[in-house]
Amino acid sequence: MKLPTPPPLQRGLRNGVFLAVLVVAGLLIANSSDVGSLTLVLAAFPLALTASLLAHLPQLLLQSLAWLVLLPRALRPSMKRMFLLRWYREAGDALLPAGTVVGQAAVTRLMIRDGMPAELAAGTATLGITLEAVSQTIFTLIGLIVFLAIRQDAEPTGFLVGIGFAAFVAAGLVALQRPPALALLRSLLERLARRWPRLNPSWIDQFQAATLRLHSNRRALAVATLLHAASWCMGAVEMMFLLNLVGYPVTFLEALVIESFAQVVRSAGFLLPGAAGVQEGAILAAGALIGVPPSAALNAALIRRTRELLVGVSGLMAWRRDEVSEG
């Protein structure tokens, strides 16, 4: 199995600069008609960014732990190592095209380099992404229930479409890990191996065995799903902090509605670095559901984008050093 190459640092940094320019332009546009509002946002920016970072740290920890519990105890890396790997994946998601896929493939490579069997590293990575999708479906459903409870005039169509999309993705990921789909993949690899003998179709059998063993640990699956759900909820805490600090107070439940809808819309932009533009539009649309003014929603979205850039750029550089250290 050919392993991914080290992260394209220059491309990621270029994307980071481009997104940073968009943040500055967005802040100016969002507050162009009100100098007082711009002054308020700029004054609140350092505190809001700090709050965003502090709220996001538990998310990374929960996501790392959710990944860790899926592994057999004897083969688990340290929590510190798992946190670093999750950070690297998030850096890829923030700054690289199709970053979730690229980042996950790269951290799988690092797990293999660290000594984990290739089929187990790949199986855990695949299962981890699947459980994220399952937990997002649950989180979006919770958001819909809260939305209907707190808004008498709630229009659920957007939420229902989002839940359908999230459930479709989750079901597709589950199906791809089951024996029928893997048998089709093995058949395809056998055909390709006739032309490219270096391909090893038997690796699919090892991957399937490892994945089915992971699936059999129902307790670990349940714990990982709950940890991912808790991580999604921490995103709502971050959104609540941001909107309150930019001058539009919301409750946690209102922030949960915004976050659940925004995240499922954001997932549609996974091919773009950090879902550029899609994320901001998703937060604007989600804020409108509960009456958040566009300027406040956009200010909160741009501060979150700044946090993602800080975490992403630092993570990309740390990822590169990790790769080179064993180069």
Sorting pLDDT into bands at 50, 70 and 90, what band is 36? low
For residues 90 and 312, the answer to whether their CB atoms sit within 8 Å is: yes
Q: Return all residues near 257 (Cβ < 8 A) that are at least 6 apart.
A: 143, 146, 147, 150, 286, 289, 290
Query: Which is more confident, 1 or 201?
Result: 201
Q: Return all residues near 195 (Cβ < 8 A) that are at least 6 apart.
A: none
Query: Which is more confident, 235 or 277?
Result: 235
Q: Give the position of tokens 């709950």.
A: 226
Integer Cα distance of 54 and 62 in angstroms: 13
316 lies in some domain: yes
Q: Return all residues near 119 (Cβ < 8 A) that are at least 6 apart.
A: 203, 206, 207, 209, 210
3 lies in some domain: no
CA–chain centroid gap for 38, Å, is 30
Which has the closest alpha carbon to 93: 5, 176, 16? 16
Which has the closest alpha carbon to 260: 137, 150, 130? 137
CB atoms within 10 A of CB 26: 17
For residues 48 and 59, the answer to whether their CB atoms sit within 8 Å is: no
Q: Give the position of tokens 């009456």.
A: 291
Q: Which domain holds residue 50?
A: 9-325
For residues 278 and 305, the answer to whether their CB atoms sit within 8 Å is: no
Which pLDDT belongs to residue 4? 45
For residues 170 and 130, the answer to whether their CB atoms sit within 8 Å is: yes
135 lies in some domain: yes
Sorting pLDDT into bands at 50, 70 and 90, what band is 7? low
Length of the chain: 327
Q: How many domains are there within the chain?
A: 1
pLDDT tens-place string over residues 99-154: 778 888 888 989 999 999 989 999 999 999 999 999 999 999 999 999 999 988 88
Query: Counting Cβ atoms within 10 Å, is residue 273 exposed (0-12), middle (13-18) or buried (19+)?
Result: buried
Secondary structure letter of residue 7 according to DSSP: P
Integer Cα distance of 151 and 294 in angstroms: 19
Which pLDDT belongs to residue 50? 96
CA–chain centroid gap for 9, Å, is 20
In the chain, the percentage of residues whose pLDDT exceeds 70 is 93
31 lies in some domain: yes
Secondary structure letter of residue 76 according to DSSP: -
Integer Cα distance of 87 and 90 in angstroms: 5
98 lies in some domain: yes
Integer Cα distance of 202 and 206 in angstroms: 7
4 lies in some domain: no
Torsion 149-150-152-153 (CA) sign: negative
pLDDT tens-place string over residues 158-212: 899 999 999 999 999 888 888 787 778 778 777 776 777 676 777 777 888 888 8
